[in-house]
Structure 1
Amino acid sequence: MAEAIVLSVIKSISSIIADTALTKLTSLIKVHSRLEHIKSIFEVMSGSLKDIDEMNDYNHAVAAWRKQVIDVAYEVEDIVDEYSYLTRERHQKDFKGVFYKVIHVSRDARTWYQTALHLKNLETKLENLTNMRNQFGINTCQGMTIGNNSNDDTRQISRFAESSHFKLENEIIGIEENRNLIENWLADNETSQYVIAAWGMAGVGKTTLATNVYNRQKKECRFSNFSWISVTQTYNINDLLRNIILELYEGKMEATPQSFNTMDYRHLVQILQGFLHQKKYLIILDDIWSTEVWTYLKNAFLDCKLGSRVIITTRVYDVAINAASKSHIIELKPLQKDKAQMLFCHTVFGEGTIKYPHDLEELAQKFLRKCEGLPLAIVCIGRLLSIKDKDIILWQRIYDGLNIGSTDLRNVYSIFRLSFNDLPSYLKSCLLYCSMFPEGHMIRRNKLIRLWVAEGFVQKQGSKSMEEMAEEYLNELTHRCMLKTAHITSMGIISRYVIHDLIRDFLLKKSREDNFCEVYRGSELCGDIRRLSISSSANDLRLETSHHLRSIIVFDPKALFSNLTLQNYFSSFRLLKVLDMSFSPIEKLPNEIYQLFNLHYLALRGTKIKKISKSLGRLQNLQTLDVWNTYVENLPSTIAKLKRLRNICAGKKKILSGNHFVRYAVTASRKICDLAYLQTIKYLAANDEIVKQIGNLAELRSLDIGRVTESQSEELFVVLSKMERLKKLSVHQHSESVLSFNFEAFPSLPPYLQKLNLHAIFAKGKLPQWFLGLVHLQSVILYFSGLSEDSLPFLGLLPNLLLLELGDDAYVGQRLCLQECWFPKLRNLRLIKLVELNCLEIRRDAMPALFRVYLKACEELQIVQGMENLPSLSELVLDKMPNVFRNSLHNLPDNIKIKVVKNWTERDGIWSYQVSNN
């Protein structure tokens, strides 16, 4: 992690030097040159820090040296932010009068002199650290190859993996379904050789599954030749090939060729190909970390059309998809509750035990919740408890002392450390930041992306925005099983993530080691904290020594911000980048917050804030302003001064009776359209000036606009048609008027649009011809549209549509017939308050991927024909549907579950319903 911290500082220095490259002021040039020198020292150090970070352990001298480098890096980071502020302030003064400049020139000279002096001291520190490294022999990484630093971890994991060969059948729990699937693949009639991949997070049981299959196959003699190889991070391709050959030759009691130990890659591949010629073989490659391994190994496995198989295990999805087809990939998940309990009881109390003793049940459940279905963790903890007295006081003491660094979980710690060390440096900071979220917290995708961008963890690449790059980071962490999917939208997009509790414990330990972040749970905080997560009441919080805080995120909605807590310190947090007080019971924003020149992210979502001061314009670095679901009705005109603003989330959604809701847009000055970097606006009230100027927002990706009148609609859509980067569009009519879109007169919407939400009448009930050209649309939500049957093909022929929602007479026909080959990818169909509809007909081969149908308040609907033509349909959800219709659903296929909605609930923006199953 030290490497990631230093690389982040190098990036910051490069950025500020580029911004001020043309300065001619002597004092500024001195600061500039010192920063350049510090950057060059850090660049040299970064390689050594990378190797140290990957060590399994290091001595006190190395630890102390590494810690001092990090401390200096943090100091430099602080100066860079101060420097950025001061140079921008000086630039603004250049445009003011001569008298103003004369008054401030003396103060500025002192400031730059002090900054240069501070940097000189830091240069000296870094030079001393460089000399110290040689003086005390801190050269542990010299001559080492990539990955060797973690050899102890690797050997420990290899031994643990190989021990799975000796597990008895009755010791293996929870793999039956996946084992049966693999064994069916091994026994099928396909003669071509193919690869089977099992992937999943560390400790989920991939090796146990693969070795169990391997041992069973050796008994069945379906294959003539077998080899099982552990790959690991520290692989050497030639050694892997030798190990495979040795296993194969030993299995046939044959001697290996002469000069075998000195052969190069080409000759080893030739030997392996020669041995496997005209043989039916099964080879297991356990724990592959990179696609490169398979690229080199696959050349050796000849396909003699005899039904040979290769099974690989990996914790990286990219490896699995590179080696195997999707149809032969298994993602291993943590154990379900019943299987986890069975494994725990078996390990702790002995074979055949499936229940806990009554007095230990509560503590046993706590241990299992800690493991979250991870077999390795269950076995490690179970083995510890199995040799202890079954005493409630002793068990409680063990639970209280249980953490990821304890010796009892050393195997779990080792595999997490290997996974973490394998991450590229830019992902390490992003993942560590996730440890700030409370245990079990569902992390909002958009929030996490914006936080990473605000913290400077994301690097722009080519024409992609930083938000798009952050999405790629999220995908990579998910594919490496470091983040778990918690919620997927109806469009198949992951909207919430969660971290396994033990991984979070590991990350918190790493974070504290490097002073990266801290979680406040009511206990006293130590040291100069840089990032703070508040998960309990902050009444007794003391931050007198934390003047270099970069982030404060509040997760406890009951956290009290009285005179004794945070607002006392805001004036001291000059370098704060992130302030998130969402859902806190605050009604007014302290004035001190408007002095935080370095603030990039300000979130007040769900608070009782009524007004944002004009002083907001002082926050020149602000990137995200989130005041969604507050009482803020107007954004101050000074928001136009925030030239770096990227995201605005404002407005409010209020729930009415019957699960209906109304949205309240926020008003803003037309100058909001001058914000060149703006990517997201939600939920903006339209006016004539904004409609004319909104096309200036060339970077806009997501627009949610309301209160649109009919007189504004044509001009608005003309402007929108030219916004080629727009991917999400939501347009709502003014509540006091009926909005009619004459789409025939409008130009086409942007071609790369993915989500479209329109609340208005369509003139003549028609969609325009150009609608068929919106081939990237994945979600279409239409209300009040008044569409006729003639417009249905324009929706049905959209090739990538995943969600279609028609509500409040969006369709006015009595019969809705969905023709064959329509909606090839549609997964969710929602029909809401279509008061004329009395018949829904589904033709054969329509909607082959449809998973869910949701029907609400379609009071005239009497019959649904063709449900049997929907092979993928699993759920039919009925909300406020008449009893007559519900009673007519008695001939549905058995695979379709009918769910009747009782009531809706909302949690952190996710709506869910309780049901009574018919």
Structure 2
Amino acid sequence: MARNHKEGMLLTSPKEKSRSKRKEEGTMSEMVRQLPQRRLEVPGDVIALLAKEQEVLRRMPWGNMEPVRSVSAALRDPGITNGAADAKKWLQQVTEISRDVDDMLDRLEEARSSSSSSHGSGRVYGLLSILSPNVLLAHRRMAKQVKHINSRIDAMKLRLSLLANLDDRESPANSTRYRMDDRQLDRLSLEQVEVLGVDSRHRRETIKGTLSDETVALKAISVVGRAGVGKTTLVRSIFNEPLVRGWFRCHAWVTVGAASSAADLLKRIMLQVFLERPEMPANADSMDVRQMADTVGRYLMDKAYLVVLDDVWSSWSSEIWDYLGVALPDNGLKSRIILSSRVPDIGRQCRWPSAVHIFHHSPLGPQDSMLLFCRKAFLSDEAPSELKVVAKEIVGECHGLPLLLVAMGGLMSTKEQAVPTWQGVVDELRRTKDIQLNLPGVLWFSYKDLPSHLKACFLYFVLFPRTYCAKRTALIRLWIAEGFVQKEAGKTLEDTAEEYLKELINRNLVQATDYYDYGKVKSCSIHDMFREIIIHKSGEENFGTLVTRDDERIGANVRRLSMINAKEDFLSDVRASNARTLFMLGASSASTSSFLSSISDYKLLRVLDLEGAPIDRLPEELPDGLYWRYLSLRNTRISKLPKSVKKLTHLQTLDLKGTYISKLPSGISRLQNIRHLLAYRYYIGRHPPYYYALGVTLPRGIGQLRELQKLTYVEATQENGTLAELGNLKQLKRLGIVNLRESDGPRLCSSVSNMTELLSLSASSITLDEPLDLHSLSPAPQKLERLYLRGQLLKLPSWIFSLRNIVRIRLRRSKLSKDAVKEMQSLPVIELALIQAYDGKTLHFSEGFSRLQILEIDHLTDLEHMSFGEAMPNIQKMSIRSCGMLNSIPDGVEGLKHLKEIHLFAMPEAMVSSLKEGGADEHKVEHIPVIRVYNEHRDISSIIL
């Protein structure tokens, strides 16, 4: 095969063409004989796309391979709706072809990049790099691959043309208008929906009554029912209720799932129980199962506790019950245990001597099912009159299961409200019944209805352990690194990825598991029933897999691997040439070292996550041809990056949080595509100021990284011009800077004024007594939502009062005056923290703070009196810590009608005593469900009102 440089084409000799044609005809004849007798619904443009793929491959412009990549991307989701299993397998090969094309192009780019770096730059050098032996060899190999792929495409076109009547076919029945409206993220998730039926509400109150009755002996409550019926939702709504939490000193929620051993289960319980202590026992990692059970049992022996063991999949052995009996003792303090399970007799298996209460959680009835569906689909309690009949049919397909009802409701909220569109969905649901894995058709339809880019985002959850909640920010960065996020005009990739996640949550395919106090999703996960679909589809398409210690081997072509405590030699059986993503969670020292020594074999790797791996260095010389876009070394022992990190020019995210790196090499400034640079760790101590961020020193040239969106935390050093260069980073959304001197203030303000997209700003002075001069910031970034300032302010900068989007302010060591606190009352903050920030003896919130929900008062050591007037009408949570002169609860707290929680840390005994039964201030707080008191060692005690 020869190369025609003039036309940019691949030429094949007549002899080769004849031989290839005979071979292809034989292959096609064999395919014809294997065709099924039934027809398959195939979108008409699949064959056209295959033909276009062939054309761009034959006339491929070597200087610009984007046309090939564009067509390849379009082929990744053929959009199959139904048909014989064999035919579906053929269509899966269409997706495989597109991926093989991507792999081929990546290898060519690798060869060209390597050649360019050795020949220099410029027009002459460019010609030399094209003619270099490595590139010519890559071209020859690629020509053979192109020929092979085009043969596969010819056979595929024939298959599809015989399977589908393309001349007179209509659009697929499930082809509907895909839209994403502008409403805020709907927080009517399964968590908030709780239980809608009369029976469910009654069951909820009955369970609460069992938790709170006067029986002092330990009680166990089991909630049983089929998957998707809402057991977890019911139990979590009870567990999270402030009134219920106030009944117990210790709380633990353990998602059990397929935990197969006593050691695994006890470890999960211990981790949850000790969340409310400053740290785990020092020898926790080396404990055997008996020691873990004893440790937990001793800690809980003098505490009223509530422990939830959620989603128990199977019956437990007598050994597990015996260890649970030690870890969860009957301490005579009204402790309670709740189990939720699909196992009908799980409650009868309990070994605790006290009574076991069993509640069967049933599906919703027709009326409550329709109500739940309508709230998701129409944001109303009923359907429009013209859609009532068809809506009832869709609800009938959900069989009263809340999971299916909210999934279909979320999906239908994206559809045009027209009878033909909705009837098409009903028809498709009926065709989808009784298919693979014996899962409800609604689940499969919810997946199939997704656009291709959202399918990839959804399938990505296969890489996370079942009990793992994915952090929103990390998930978005991973999707971008994988290339799932499509560029949209006027939006950053992060903005678009946020919309993807909102859409998946709105459809209830993904569940938000935690929110920040100011409303944004913090973490998310998927339901087990959807996980079965994800595992099936990921395996079918070689998308990715989760590897555990029990796995011996995986498919040769799998592209994404997440290794959870896998065997040390597992990677030796993996075809490194296909791997694009590698998570090494809980990796051993041997397996990590083995991987690092063979990095050069992973030519196509894009995402590498080594979080928590037992490593203290990367190879000093990283190999050429690495195309990493995402690298996480979080919580490793690495203290220095190699200079060769400059080769990672495609890198978008570099996560160094929790490492020992204090200085970044000069080559960082060459990473022109980097968007997120996280490099800090926290000092944590028992004395003021408790914790603070330790940043990294940046090299000169940081201002060249114009794509940066997140930069935390950096040292404020004048010597290398960091403060001035920050002004070039106009796309920054989050900036954290530490060790500021008073003289640094004007320069920092000048730079920050250029950051019009900034959402979060954190600035800390070099010492607690160093003034923080931020008064000259003009104009202030008007999108700013979160502001964290540590250092003396004396008075608040005037620009703060212009922030109309601010939701959180945390001030530390500010030494504010009464007037400064009063001035803040008009700000729209949801959370306000004053930590060593005010030196006065009295603090009066007279009015304003209309949106405030959380107030934190910490180490105001001179404060003797605190009061509320008409301020903070919506406050829900108040925390007061280490205010040694404050001997009474703030005046006016009785008027805060929405206040649900008060937390008191190391406060005077006089205040604590006044709140107890019969105390002078008991009447002020009788409407507040939860009041908790923590002593100076952070052990917890409670006041139950």
TM-score relative to the length of structure 2: 0.65
Within a 5 Å distance, the mapping from 1:641-656 to structure 2 comes to 641-656=670-685
- Specify which of 563, 577, 583 is matched with residue 553 of structure 1: 583
- Specify which of 933, 936, 940 is matched with residue 900 of structure 1: 933
8 Å CA contact 2:562–2:585 kept in 1: the answer is: yes
* 1:804 corresponds to: 832
* Pair 1:540–1:696, CA change in 2 (3 A): same
* 1:879 corresponds to: 905
- Specify which of 606, 610, 616 is matched with residue 587 of structure 1: 616
Deviation at 1:539, TM superposition (A): 0.6
8 Å CA contact 1:594–1:616 kept in 2: the answer is: no
* Pair 1:594–1:649, CA change in 2 (3 A): farther
8 Å CA contact 1:902–1:916 kept in 2: the answer is: no
* Pair 1:904–1:143, CA change in 2 (3 A): farther
* Pair 1:146–1:914, CA change in 2 (3 A): farther
Matched, 1:105 2:131: yes
Matched, 1:625 2:654: yes
* 1:450 corresponds to: 477
8 Å CA contact 1:691–1:716 kept in 2: the answer is: yes
* 1:682 corresponds to: 712
Matched, 1:667 2:726: no
Deviation at 1:487, TM superposition (A): 1.9
Superposed CA offset, 1:157-216 (max 9, x none): xxxxxxxxxxxxxx9963548999xxxxxxxxxxxxxxxxxxxx975599953515599x
* Pair 1:230–1:463, CA change in 2 (3 A): closer
* 2:746 corresponds to: 714
Within a 5 Å distance, the mapping from 1:269-284 to structure 2 comes to none
* 1:766 corresponds to: 795
8 Å CA contact 1:676–1:698 kept in 2: the answer is: yes
* Pair 1:621–1:687, CA change in 2 (3 A): same
Deviation at 1:901, TM superposition (A): 3.2
Within a 5 Å distance, the mapping from 1:435-834 to structure 2 comes to 435-522=462-549, 523-524=551-552, 525-541=554-570, 542-556=572-586, 558-562=587-591, 565-591=594-620, 594-595=623-624, 597-657=626-686, 660-688=690-718, 689-735=721-767, 738-762=769-793, 765-799=794-828, 801-808=829-836, 810-820=837-847, 822-834=848-860
Deviation at 1:431, TM superposition (A): 0.9
Distance in 1, matches of 2:878 and 2:592, equals 52
Deviation at 1:149, TM superposition (A): 10
Distance in 2, matches of 1:609 and 1:242, equals 60
Distance in 2, matches of 1:230 and 1:837, equals 48
Distance in 1, matches of 2:896 and 2:376, equals 44
- Specify which of 121, 126, 129 is matched with residue 95 of structure 1: 121
Distance in 2, matches of 1:540 and 1:698, equals 46
Superposed CA offset, 1:569-628 (max 9, x none): 322111100000101111121357554521000001001111100100001100000011
Distance in 1, matches of 2:905 and 2:111, equals 59
Matched, 1:868 2:894: yes
Distance in 1, matches of 2:761 and 2:377, equals 47
8 Å CA contact 2:792–2:814 kept in 1: the answer is: yes
* Pair 1:511–1:842, CA change in 2 (3 A): same
The structure with higher relative contact order (CA 8 Å, sep 6+) is: 2
Counterpart of 1:773 in structure 2: which amino acid? S
Counterpart of 1:76 in structure 2: which amino acid? V
8 Å CA contact 1:579–1:599 kept in 2: the answer is: yes
Deviation at 1:91, TM superposition (A): 5.9
SS in 2 for 1:740: coil
- Specify which of 848, 852, 855 is matched with residue 877 of structure 2: 852
* Pair 1:448–1:313, CA change in 2 (3 A): closer
8 Å CA contact 1:709–1:733 kept in 2: the answer is: yes
Distance in 2, matches of 1:581 and 1:474, equals 24
Distance in 1, matches of 2:781 and 2:505, equals 31
Superposed CA offset, 1:873-899 (max 9, x none): 100011111211222232213334101
Superposed CA offset, 1:757-792 (max 9, x none): 011111xx2223332211110110111111111112
SS in 2 for 1:528: coil
Distance in 2, matches of 1:848 and 1:630, equals 43
* 1:431 corresponds to: 458
8 Å CA contact 1:609–1:631 kept in 2: the answer is: yes
* Pair 1:490–1:320, CA change in 2 (3 A): same
* Pair 1:419–1:727, CA change in 2 (3 A): same
8 Å CA contact 2:369–2:395 kept in 1: the answer is: no
Distance in 1, matches of 2:561 and 2:153, equals 28
Distance in 2, matches of 1:230 and 1:851, equals 26
Deviation at 1:319, TM superposition (A): 6.0
Within a 5 Å distance, the mapping from 1:289-308 to structure 2 comes to none
TM-score relative to the length of structure 1: 0.67
SS in 2 for 1:537: coil
Distance in 2, matches of 1:914 and 1:239, equals 52
* Pair 1:858–1:868, CA change in 2 (3 A): same
- Specify which of 211, 214, 220 is matched with residue 366 of structure 2: 211
Superposed CA offset, 1:78-133 (max 9, x none): 12333444555566545279689758833233333433442343233212211222
What's the % identity of the aligned pairs?
25
Matched, 1:416 2:448: no
Structure 1 unaligned blocks of 5 or more = 18-25, 151-170, 181-200, 218-227, 246-282, 290-311, 325-404, 906-912
Distance in 1, matches of 2:844 and 2:158, equals 79
Distance in 2, matches of 1:543 and 1:613, equals 29
* Pair 1:535–1:87, CA change in 2 (3 A): same
* Pair 1:712–1:874, CA change in 2 (3 A): same
Deviation at 1:37, TM superposition (A): 6.8
* 2:257 corresponds to: none
SS in 2 for 1:606: coil
8 Å CA contact 2:76–2:98 kept in 1: the answer is: no
Within a 5 Å distance, the mapping from 1:191-230 to structure 2 comes to 204=230, 208-209=363-364, 211-212=366-367
Counterpart of 1:901 in structure 2: which amino acid? Y
8 Å CA contact 1:755–1:779 kept in 2: the answer is: yes
* 1:838 corresponds to: 864
Distance in 1, matches of 2:407 and 2:376, equals 10
Q: Give the CA RMSD over aligned residues.
A: 4.3
Within a 5 Å distance, the mapping from 1:357-372 to structure 2 comes to none
Counterpart of 1:211 in structure 2: which amino acid? P
* Pair 1:592–1:719, CA change in 2 (3 A): closer
Counterpart of 1:465 in structure 2: which amino acid? T
SS in 2 for 1:433: helix
* Pair 1:619–1:594, CA change in 2 (3 A): farther
SS in 1 for 2:132: helix
SS in 2 for 1:900: strand
Structure 2 unaligned blocks of 5 or more = 1-40, 177-196, 207-226, 234-361, 398-404, 418-432, 916-921
SS in 2 for 1:427: helix
Counterpart of 2:887 in structure 1: which amino acid? Q
